[in-house]
Amino acid sequence: MLFSAVLSLAACASLASAHAILLSPAGRTTGTQSSVSGEGIKIPRFPVPSSLVSASGGCVDSTAGAPALTVAAGGSVPVKWAITIPHQSDPGVRIALRFPGETQFTIVKDKINVNDLTATVSLPAGKSGMATLQWMWATEEDGGFYVACSDLNVTAPKPAPKPTPKTAPKPTPKTAPKPAPKKAPKKAPKKAPTPTPKAAPKPAPVPVDNTPIVMPVVLPPAQVPDASEIVLPGQ
Ligand SMILES: *[C@@H]1O[C@H](CO)[C@@H](O)[C@H](O)[C@H]1NC(C)=O
């Protein structure tokens, strides 16, 4: 009875010993990682195999689940963990990220002292989508490492709110040099020249001839009465 209990303990010891676990953002609960929420999984190998930083091996056998955290691209993520069995930290805790389409994790923080129990990582500004955060504590003294992954929903920055239409500075219309208005020479309204009243030509003064016109008087021949006609008084 005791013997079998020791045997089963020994069988588990290589995989499931409590040393450190990821608390936040919450780790996956699928595959071997399901125990991460309990004691943590020691992967008894050292150094950390390169397969762990590849897309396939970075999270042991866990699969992506619902996002544990939604965060904006370029934001920061506080990562927290707990130590269940202390060991010397070195080389320490490492945090890496993998975004959709990427085949490798990118280390964003490394060699963190496990006793810090927390670290804040900054997300790159230009990446978004369902990202995977990998948390790992490697401890040489313990001869192995602990790994846990968490799924993050990294949201793309909202399309900049339409800038309140700053009355876009109207492109200063190239002041097309206005053709200087040809000063239309003001046509001085031709004042119909007031006809200078032609002084009626004074009739040339008729030279006054004072010489008395002597009209020849033609006197009728004096009528001499006929003697016969003379009536004498008394006759
Ligand atoms: C990620 O967050 C955005 C914004 O809140 C949401 O619309 C989207 O459905 C989320 N994606 C997932 C897989 O939860």
Domain ranges of the chain: 18-155
Mean pLDDT score of the chain, rounded to an integer? 72
Q: How far is the CA of 129 from the centre of ligand 1 (A)?
A: 9
pLDDT at 219 over 70: no
Is the CB–ligand 1 distance for residue 155 below 6 Å? Answer: yes
Using an 8 Å Cβ cutoff, are 41 and 52 in contact?
A: no
Res. 103 pLDDT band, cuts 50 70 90: confident
Residue type, 180: A
Cα angle: 195, vertex 200, 201; to 5 degrees? 125
> What pLDDT does residue 99 have?
95
> What pLDDT does residue 2 have?
39
Pocket test for ligand 1, best of 71, 150, 153, 154 (most atoms within 8 A of CB): 153
* pTM greater than 0.85: no
> What pLDDT does residue 11 have?
34
Between 124 and 52, the more confident residue is 124
Residue nearest atom 1 in ligand 1 by C-alpha distance: 153
> What pLDDT does residue 52 have?
73
Pocket test for ligand 1, best of 127, 130, 154, 155 (most atoms within 8 A of CB): 155
Mean pLDDT of 114-138: 93
Q: How far is the CA of 153 from the centre of ligand 1 (A)?
A: 6
Residue nearest atom 10 in ligand 1 by C-alpha distance: 153
Is the CB–ligand 1 distance for residue 32 below 6 Å? Answer: no
Is the CB–ligand 1 distance for residue 65 below 6 Å? Answer: no
User: Is domain 18-155 given the CATH code 3.40.50.300 in the classification?
Assistant: no
Length of the chain: 235
Task: Render the burial of 185-200: b for 16+ CB within 10 Å, e for the rest.
Answer: eeeeeeeeeeeeeeee
